[in-house]
Amino acid sequence: MVVDGLRYTKDHEWVKAEGDVVTMGITDHAQEQLGELVFVELPDAGNEYAARKEMAVVESSKAAGDVYCPVAGTVTEVNDALNTQPELINEDCYKAGWICKIQVADAKALDDLMDAKQYQEYLETL
Amino acid sequence: MQGRTPSPGRFVFESPEAEPIGSVLYEEHVRLTSKSRMSPFAGYLMPLWYSSITAEHRAVREGAGLFDCTHMGVLEVSGDAAEPFLNAVATNNVARLKVGRAQYSYILDAAGNVLDDIIIYRRGETDFMVVVNAANEPKIKAYFDGLLAGQVVIDTADPNRKMETPTIRDMRDPASGADCRVDIALQGPASIEVLAGLSDDASFVERLRELKGFGLLNESLQDMDCLICRTGYTGAVIGFELFVHPSDAPRLWSAVLEVGAPLGVLPCGLGARDSLRIEAGLPLYGHELAGSFGISPFEAGYGWAVKLDKDFFIGQAEMARVAQSYDMQVARLALPATKGIRPVRPGDPILIGGVCVGWILSSAKVDETQYALAYIDRDGAQEGNEVGAYYLARSPSQVQQGRQEHLDKGQQAEADLTGTVVGRYEKF
């Protein structure tokens, strides 16, 4: 499932822009590939990341996946609920399963990401 | 690249690279799960899971689960030379295996390396079926070919020792003859009731109920000739492996799912297969057996399947030495897995008193427990011992934060998680 109005990376992160703060998480395709998640290592608020730097880890009982920072910036807030309910990502990856909010360094960087249609087309090539 | 000199008696085999192919049940799988969940495994595209690993694991413990094992190698060894050949090739005592029974065993090379763990089914006095791991099948076929051709060292102390030469046939290949077999496993407490639903013969269910562990029946299920054996790889007390002609496999697969649906039968993928065998304490070749640590049957906990008192088997001298000297063993550990606890991974060190005594080989989460099979000091492997686990660094950023990427035995570290050594095996 791909949601309109979000931006996407080739590493299967989604980004929702609200001014210069964005919310990010991993896509339905990513959670589907990982299976039932049992652990999420969240970044710390205040950490700065360059684009495509690993910022979080999601682990299922059989696989671990790195989550990369979709756009350069500073983490302002993390979804603490994932510490005890990692399955929120499986159940609702685009809403309740969000990972963190990022104050983006340069909002124009969002234009480099795919829109829903482009991401859908990208998924079909995999 | 530096050349390595193989030790005397080592059997070296390079598996040819090939694109993974679908099993004979591939069409059934893609009807039941998405193609993205099909993963390359031992040369085949196999399902990781259909519903979820948790649901499939539970189905085997509470109802039954159906597994595609048609990728497993099935070889027929027949003729007057069959028993003496197998008794020299396998570590267990084939001469003591009765018709209609099966036996767990190992195939070693002359240097004592484990080439595979196998089950030998005795269908007649001179007729055996040998089931080998899918990943090892090309190697075992090449090894048997080499033995038949007299091109493989069988005894480093006696280069003139000769092997008996039986007839060996790949039973999964329909070109090899009329009697062909592939393996489909049905495991769990509801298995008998499910199989009973596939036959109109009233006495069949009695024969099934009376079939002991490692016993073999030859039955007709909905006109399909089926070898039914009470063997399996899930720790289920009641469970069967069904051997049918490859062209019957899709029909048997869907018939079991149809009859089994109201009895809680689910198709199960590789994920549940792994979590079930880990929970039960069963070894997987390349992990708890052989693999990077070169784990012997004695260390794996299966010294009973290596009959050192036999006249001869390939690798006997090395096994006699190992039996006296091994100081590591496979232990089953229970670690907490409540929500938010990071799972342990293969390679993560096990600590006793803050000192590394070995490493995790496999692990699986079952409800609120992570079961791990670990290769640790024999001294520390007693049931009830408290052990620690250390998470190795999983990423460059964790290394920067000071997390180790590797611990040697004897190195000190602080445990991230505490658990206990539990009994080596568990039956369900």
Co-location of B291 and B335 in the same domain = no
The shortest C-alpha distance from A94 to chain B (Å) reads: 20
Best residue of A31, A38, A79 to probe chain B, by most B CBs closer than 10 Å: A38
Query: If pLDDT is split at 50, 70 and 90, which confidence band does B106 have?
Result: very high
The shortest C-alpha distance from A118 to chain B (Å) reads: 20
Boundary of a domain, candidates B291, B326, B361: B326
Cα–Cα distance for residue pair B35/B267, rounded to 1 Å: 15
* Residue B1: predicted pLDDT: 35
Provide the domain limits for residue B359: 329-428
Provide the domain limits for residue A102: 7-125
The predicted model gives B13-24 an average pLDDT of: 88
Asked if B274 and A32 come within 8 Å (Cβ–Cβ), the reply is: no
Higher pLDDT, B409 or A35: B409
- The DSSP letter of residue B293 is G
CATH number at residue B373: 2.40.30.110
Contact B144, B73 (CB under 8 A): no
The predicted model gives B180-190 an average pLDDT of: 98
Residue A90's Cβ-count burial label (10 Å; 0-12, 13-18, 19+) is middle
Residues of A in Cβ contact (< 8 Å) with B48: 35, 62
Q: Is residue A1 part of a domain?
A: no
Contact B165, B151 (CB under 8 A): no
| Facing B343 at nearest CB: one of A33, A54, A59 | A59
Q: Closest chain B residue to A126 measured between Cα atoms?
A: B36
- For B1-15, B144-158, B210-224, which range has the lowest pLDDT when averaged over its residues? B1-15
Q: Closest chain B residue to A34 measured between Cα atoms?
A: B37
The shortest C-alpha distance from A38 to chain B (Å) reads: 6
Two tokens at B132? Answer: 């080998």
Q: Is residue A53 part of a domain?
A: yes
Half-sphere exposure of A124 (CA within 13 A, CB side): 7
| B47 inside 8 A of chain A by CB | no
Contact B106, B73 (CB under 8 A): no
Two tokens at A98? Answer: 């969000």
Boundary of a domain, candidates B278, B304, B326: B326
* CB < 8 Å & 24+ apart, contacts of A91-95: A93/A14, A93/A25, A93/A26, A93/A27, A93/A28, A93/A30, A93/A31, A94/A3, A94/A6, A94/A14, A94/A25, A94/A27, A94/A28
CATH number at residue B276: 3.30.1360.120
Two tokens at B52? Answer: 């979820």
- For A58-67, B91-100, B231-240, B340-349, which range has the lowest pLDDT when averaged over its residues? A58-67
* Residue B2: predicted pLDDT: 39
- For A18-22, A28-32, A61-65, B61-65, which range has the lowest pLDDT when averaged over its residues? A61-65
pLDDT at A119 over 60: yes
| Facing A61 at nearest CB: one of B53, B394, B395 | B53
Q: What is the mean pLDDT of chain A?
A: 93
The shortest C-alpha distance from B325 to chain A (Å) reads: 35
Query: If pLDDT is split at 50, 70 and 90, which confidence band does B8 have?
Result: confident
| Facing A38 at nearest CB: one of B274, B365, B397 | B365
pLDDT at B47 over 70: yes
Residue entry with tokens 């079952």? B366
Co-location of B315 and B375 in the same domain = no
Q: Is residue A43 part of a domain?
A: yes
Co-location of B283 and B385 in the same domain = no
The predicted model gives A14-28 an average pLDDT of: 94
Cα–Cα distance for residue pair A47/B320, rounded to 1 Å: 58
| B185 inside 8 A of chain A by CB | no
Q: Closest chain A residue to B273 measured between Cα atoms?
A: A62
The shortest C-alpha distance from A42 to chain B (Å) reads: 11
pLDDT at B5 over 90: no
| Facing A38 at nearest CB: one of B36, B343, B396 | B343
* Residue A12: predicted pLDDT: 96
Q: Is B267 helix (H, G, I), strand (E, B) or coil?
A: strand
The sheet with strand A54-60 has its strands ordered as: A37-41, A54-60, A64-68
Boundary of a domain, candidates B305, B326, B347: B326
What are the residues whose beta carbons fall under 8 Å from the beta carbon of B399, sequence distance 6 or more?
B393, B405
Taking only the tens place, the pLDDT of each residue in B275-329 is 999 999 999 999 999 999 999 999 999 999 999 999 999 999 999 999 999 999 9
Co-location of B322 and B334 in the same domain = no
The predicted model gives B90-99 an average pLDDT of: 98
- For B102-116, B185-199, B395-409, which range has the lowest pLDDT when averaged over its residues? B395-409
Contact B102, B216 (CB under 8 A): yes
CATH number at residue A61: 2.40.50.100
| Facing A84 at nearest CB: one of B53, B274, B339 | B339
Residues of A in Cβ contact (< 8 Å) with B337: 38
| Facing A62 at nearest CB: one of B53, B342, B397 | B53
Two tokens at B389? Answer: 């686990």
Asked if A61 and B343 come within 8 Å (Cβ–Cβ), the reply is: yes
Co-location of B193 and B320 in the same domain = yes
| A54 inside 8 A of chain B by CB | yes
Q: How far is CA A27 from the centre of its chain?
A: 7
What value of ipTM does the predicted structure carry?
A: 0.75
Taking only the tens place, the pLDDT of each residue in B243-261 is 999 999 999 999 999 999 9
- CB count within 10 Å of CB B6 equals 11
For the entire predicted model, the pTM comes to 0.91
End-to-end CA distance of chain A: 15
Query: If pLDDT is split at 50, 70 and 90, which confidence band does A60 have?
Result: confident
Asked if B36 and A86 come within 8 Å (Cβ–Cβ), the reply is: no
Instruction: Sort residue B344 into left (φ over 0), alpha (ψ -120 to 50) or beta.
Output: beta
The count of structural domains within chain B is 2
The count of structural domains within chain A is 1
Q: What is the mean pLDDT of chain B?
A: 95
The predicted model gives B212-237 an average pLDDT of: 97
* Residue A13: predicted pLDDT: 97
Q: Is residue A86 part of a domain?
A: yes
Q: Is A93 helix (H, G, I), strand (E, B) or coil?
A: coil
Looking only at Cα atoms, what is the longest distance across chain B?
68
pLDDT at B4 over 80: no
